[in-house]
Structure formats: C-alpha cells, structure tokens
Structure 1
Amino acid sequence: MKNVLKLSLLSSVAILALTGCGLSPSTGTVPAVGPGKIKPVDEASDAPAVTVTSKSFTEQLLLGKISVIALKAAGYEVTDLTNVPGSQPARQLLLSGDASVLWEYTGTAWLTYLGHEKPVVGEKAQWEAVQKEDVANGIDWGKPAPLNNTYAMAMNEKTAKRLGITKLSQLKTLDKKDLTFCVDPEFNSRRDGLTPMLEHYGIDRGKQVSENNIGLYDVGAIYQATASGACDFGEVFTTDGRIKALNLTVLEDDKKYFPSYNAAPAFNGEFLKENPEVKEIMGKIAPLLTDEVLMELNYQVDVVGREPSDVAFEWMVSEGLVSKP
C-alpha cells in the first residue's frame, strides 16, 4: 500500500508539473472523418465531450489517434490529449478524470500500476485479473485486442536459415557458440529478463551462455545489431515495425515465459457511466488490432516517416470503420 501511495503521489507531482508547463491538446490534426461501421450515436446529438490520451511512443500515438478519429465519427466533441510523456502521467490523467480513455497494456497495469511481482499466465486470464482489480481505482477496462506488445527474441534471415529453429524451447539444442544475445542493460539484469528466461527454457547462464556471448546495447540499437549479425538472438518487441523493415524472424515463446501485454481501452469509470456507448465503439476496433496490423502501422510511422494520424485514418478507412467525408 505504501508503494501504491508513493506511486500515486509521484504521478500527481508529474501531472502538476506537466500542467504547469501548459499540457495541451496534441499537436498534429486528424483528417476530417465520415461515418462507416462507426456511426453517430443518438446520445451524442448534443456532442458530449470526451478526452483521449496516450503515451508518447509510436504505437501509443497510433492507438490514440485511432480513438480520436473513431469518436469524432461517432459525433463526440473530442479533445486530443495524446503524446503524454510517460506511463504514470498518462495513467494519472485517466484516474483524475482529466482524460476519458487510454489504450493501456495489461502487463503494464498489473506489474507497474497494481504492484504485482509476477504476471498472470495467459492473455485472457491476465486481462480478467486487471479488469477485476482496477475497478476499485475507478478504471473500467474494455475487451483486449489480440495485439500483444511483449518481449521476444529475434534472428536475422541468415541466422534463421542456418540454425533452422522457430521456438525458444529449441535454444537448448544449439551449440554454445550459437547462443549469443543482444539485449539492453535492464533486460540483462531484471528478474523477468534474460537470466530467468534462459532458466525457464532449461539453459544455464554461465555454463551454456558465457558472459562474453551477451552484448549490451541501447534498446533501439539492438534491432540493427541483430540484423547485422553481431549476435544470433536479439531482444525485440513483438509489434515493432523494425522487425519487418530488417526482415527479422521472431522465435515463438512456446513455454509462455514473457508476460502478456495486450492493449485494451481503459476508461475513466465516471465518464463511462455517462457515456456507456463509448465502450461499444472501442469494442468494434479492438478485435482488428493484431500484432501484424500494429507492426505494419508502426513501420509506416517509424520507417517510412508518415504521420500517425494519417496512418491511423488510412487503416480505419480500409477496415470500413470510418469513411472519407
């Protein structure tokens, strides 16, 4: 409880600091939008207000812009408060009611916000646990998307062909010289990082994986290091567009080591009581958001260099969720 209180106080300080610096709606507009599968709702005839927030990395910006576009199509007066720097400030906006909806990750909520040390095994079970517990904080969770932006290990094309493996459980069948890893310093030392992962898959760090076979890199540099062959296996995030850009192959986590980080819409409870139809709107979007979809959308922003709002709008039109006016 003390840790939760401490986090709450720190978050409040962060929000006050942001507010004092003039926290304002996101820069960058979304295109004009018409209805599709998402239509104006009767209750929205008086254009009730809704505020959408997100964190500041690419995938969160995309999910935030998708929500902004969807709610505009549904007839709401939308304040775009996406691109908030940091998980805790974005969470605090939702808790305080200064934001109405935020796409959040189940693993982040369970381990970071709710303070649990171990994840719940299984994507559905993890979401159910978060949804049940977070109600006490005034947060109501919508159904999760299939996308699971969790950790993974990836190989470049040459390594994948040479080793011929597709699953993490097959690592233990390899020669020691092939067990080389590129990871960031945090993942190298954290209790749900590299060493426990190796143990989970029956590999002894030290005996089978020497320290000389572990290279430490900044998170962003790992992708290129893996692609160039600096190591056989690199730590990646499953929906990162650089996986596609660099033609990396992700190993299946067949013994379910990594926590589930499924994205789901989280709502301020008081707002949702007055606007229950918003949950239904997000429910039309969530099933369409797969790892493959977000990898492509992330790729369009991070590699091609397009604006998140344009990429989000184009995808929503292609799915028939909204239309061009």
Structure 2
Amino acid sequence: MHFPLRRTFALLAAAALTMTGVSACGSGDAVEVSSAGDELAGAELVIGSKDFTENIVLGNIALQVLKAHGAEVVDKINLGGTVTNRKALEAGEIDLYWEYSGTGWIEHLKNAEPIQDSAEQFKATATQDLEKNKIRWIGPTPLNNTYALAIRSEKAAELGVKTLSDVAELARTKPEEVTICIETEFSTRDDGLPGLVKAYDMTIPKDRVALLDTGVVYTETDKGQTCNFGEVFTTDGRIAALGLTVLEDDKKFFPVYNAAVTVRQETYDQHPALEQVLKPVIAKLDDATMQKLNARVDVEGQEPATVSAEWLQEQGFLGSSSDA
C-alpha cells in the first residue's frame, strides 16, 4: 500500500511518538551494514519510500540489503505519498520503491474492479505495468496490507457491528454514530472512501468525516471522541496494541495489497541481480512479521532503520558482521 501510514513508548503517548516517527527519515546510513556479496558492485541506486511506518521500514530493508550486496545507495526514504513516489520513479528521480498490488491495479493502472485472488491480482498488475509503463514488479511479499475500518472493541459490542454492511445499516438507522477518521489520501482514492461508500450504498455527511494524520487516526479511533470508526491498515501493529476491532469487508470491496519492489525496467536491465538479491527477503515478509516490525516502531518507539537492520541480521541477510 502503501500507503502513508506513521509513529508510543506507552499507549498513552501514542500520538506524540507517532508524529516523531513520521518526521524521522529512515536513515540507512545510521546503521552499519555488513557485506553479504558483491552481486550489485558498481550499481548506484536511489531508494524511495512512502511516508508511513511500514513503507519506511520496507524502504530501509531494501536499502540495507542492496548496500550489503555492493550497491552504492542514496537514501530518499520517507519521500512522500503514493503519487510523489510513483512520479519520482517514472521520472528517474528514484530507482525503486515498495508499492502494493492493489494500489498499482486501481491507482496507477486505473482499473475499476480489483481481482480477489492475490496471485492473479499481482500477476495482472505486474504484467500491465511492465507493458504500459516499463515498470517491473519484484515480488510479491506474502503480506497483504489492505485497508480496513476499525472500531474500539467495546463500542463494536455496544453498536453490534461486525461487518461493513453493519456500518452501512447503522448509517441509515443511527447516522449520528457513524463518524469516521481517515487520512487525506483515503478520502480521494477510488479504493478509498469514495469507492467504499458507493460499494456499500452508504451515506456519510462530510461533517462526520475527520481528515487526520495516520497515527492520529489510530489514537482518535481508540479514544472514540472524534470518531467511532477509523481507517486502518491490516498489518499495522497498533491494531492489537490499542485493542481495536477490524470490521469484515463482507462485500470484498478492498483489493489485495501485496507489497513488492517496483523498479524501472531500464534500471532492472542494468542490474538484473536486483531480483536474486531481493527475492529471498521478500519471501520472508508475511503479515505476522510485518505487524511485529511495525509495532516495534509505532508502539515501542524504535527507529525504522534499526528495526529493519536487526530483522535482516536475524534472518541472515546482512552477511558477517566482521565485514562491516
């Protein structure tokens, strides 16, 4: 996705630490990277990422792995939102960044209907983007960071909501209860709020929608004062930490969002070893792993570059520390 997502030593301080984490660029240069091989020796690669926790962590993972395999890397992690990164990639201002299959299919390729099978969705996205835009997708990861709506668990029980269809019914019977916190990007995307309300035949007046930074969406949803419902990402560690309940997308509106590294074909042709270096790392990134890495940043307040480096070292992807 992804998707702008962002940074709580303690849950009571979640919002403050969330904002701190967002402003900090995931600086791979602050972490020692050992040698794992020379497959990319001579390559000069500019690494971008979106401006939310997961994508920042993923950006650092890519930067550190490529550096460990001999590449000269330039850190443009935390570059901005989806549009900013995609335009930078197409313009050659960055060489690669992590994107999500659903975003590629709906936003970049302008397809109206998602494909529910994850493998078919990825294949279709990768094929079309390469043919139309000369953008190659390396992946996918097992992780599926899809959008969802969440609500604090006690309020879900009080209102009797378990699915998005329940929310649509609530909007008809008790419209004052359907207040929602979202981020700006979600408010305009076809796979965001505009498409969601259409798919579920739901009416939500503008004065019941609050546009907030991602981290604030989580904390305000947990407080239940600004909003009862909040836009969340299913691999976010704050869902469990804050005790939020994710509502079932029973009409399967949201696409599958498997992460992958997107790279210009020109860059890939110059450095085909990118695939063999990145594929083993990509294969290890499932939902549970990503939730833990995200939580270390968003809940425990650790730096994304440190979190990514420690995980890569644990998995044996950074080679011998004696070569650092």
The answer to whether residue 26 in structure 2 is matched with residue 29 in structure 1 is no
Cα deviation for residue 141 of structure 1 reads 0.8
Name which of 92, 96, 101 aligns with 2:96: 101
Q: Is residue 257 of structure 1 aligned with residue 253 of structure 2? A: yes
CA distance in 2 between counterparts of 1:52 and 1:290 reads 22
* Residues 1:195 and 1:304: Cα distance change in structure 2 (over 3 Å): same
Displacement of 1:61 in angstroms is: 1.6
Query: Are the structure 2 counterparts of residues 198 and 78 from structure 1 closer, same or farther at C-alpha, using a change threshold of 3 Å?
Result: closer
Tell me which residue corresponds to 1:184: 182
Question: For 1:71 and 1:320, how far apart are their aligned partners in 2?
Answer: 14
Which of 218, 222, 226 does residue 221 from structure 2 map onto?
226
**Equivalent residue of 1:309, what SS?**
helix
* Alignment partners' CA distance in 2, 1:167 and 1:318: 38
How far, CA to CA, are the matches of 1:232 and 1:49 in structure 2? 47
Deviations 1:55-75 (CA, angstroms, capped at 9, x unpaired)? 233222211110111112222
Which segment is superposed worse, 168-177 or 306-315? 168-177
User: Partner letter of residue 178 of structure 2?
Assistant: T
Q: Answer whether contact 2:217 2:231 (CA < 8 A) is retained.
A: yes
Does the residue aligned with 2:217 lie in a helix, a strand or coil?
helix
* Matching residue within 253, 277, 283 for 1:287: 283
Cα drift, residue 185 of structure 1: 8.1
Structure 1 residue 241 displacement after superposition: 3.4
TM-score (norm 2): 0.74
- Do the aligned residues in 1 keep the contact of 2:181 with 2:220 (CA within 8 Å)? no
CA 1:48–1:240 in structure 2 vs 1: closer, same or farther (change >3 Å)? Answer: same
**SS of the residue aligned with 2:249?**
coil
2:75 pairs with 1:84 = no
Distance 2:71 2:289 in 1: 26
The number of residues matched between the two structures is 291
SS in 2 for 1:154: strand
Amino acid aligned to 2:181: V
SS of equivalent to 1:29: helix
Q: Distance in 2 between matches of 1:29 and 1:167?
A: 44
Q: Does 1:314 align with 2:310?
A: yes
8 Å Cα contact 2:182/2:230 also seen in 1? no
> Which sections of structure 2, spanning at least 5 residues, go unmatched?
1-24
CA distance in 2, matches of 1:212, 1:277: 49
Give the secondary structure class of the aligned counterpart of 1:102.
Answer: strand
The answer for unaligned runs of 5 or more in structure 1 is 1-24
Provide Cα deviations, 1:151-205, integer angstroms capped at 9, x if missing partner: 202122323555676544565787945963423386578765557546645xx54
Q: CA deviation at 1:265?
A: 0.8
Partner of 1:8: none
Q: How does 1:14-53 map to 2 (within 5 A)?
A: 27=27, 29-34=29-34, 39-41=36-38, 43-44=39-40, 46-53=41-48
Cα distance in 1, alignment partners of residues 104 and 212 from structure 2: 24
The residue number in structure 1 matching 2:119 is: 124
One-letter amino acid of the counterpart of residue 49, structure 1: E
**Residue 40 of structure 1 aligns to which amino acid in structure 2?**
G
Alignment partners' CA distance in 1, 2:49 and 2:217: 25
Distance 1:96 1:194, change over 3 A: closer
Give the corresponding residue for 2:153.
157
Per-residue deviation, 1:261? 2.4
Are the aligned partners of 1:198 and 1:205 in contact in 2 as well (CA < 8 Å)?
A: yes
CA distance in 2, matches of 1:274, 1:190: 34
1:213, distance to aligned residue in structure 2 (A): 11
Q: Is the 8 A contact 1:244 1:299 kept in 2?
A: no
AA aligned opposite 1:262: N
Larger radius of gyration: 1
- Residue 246, structure 1, aligned to residue 242, structure 2: yes
**Where does residue 278 of structure 1 map in the other structure?**
274
TM-fit CA distance, 1:149? 2.5
Q: TM-score, normalised by structure 1?
A: 0.74
SS in structure 1 opposite 2:251? coil
RMSD over equivalenced CA pairs, Å: 3.4
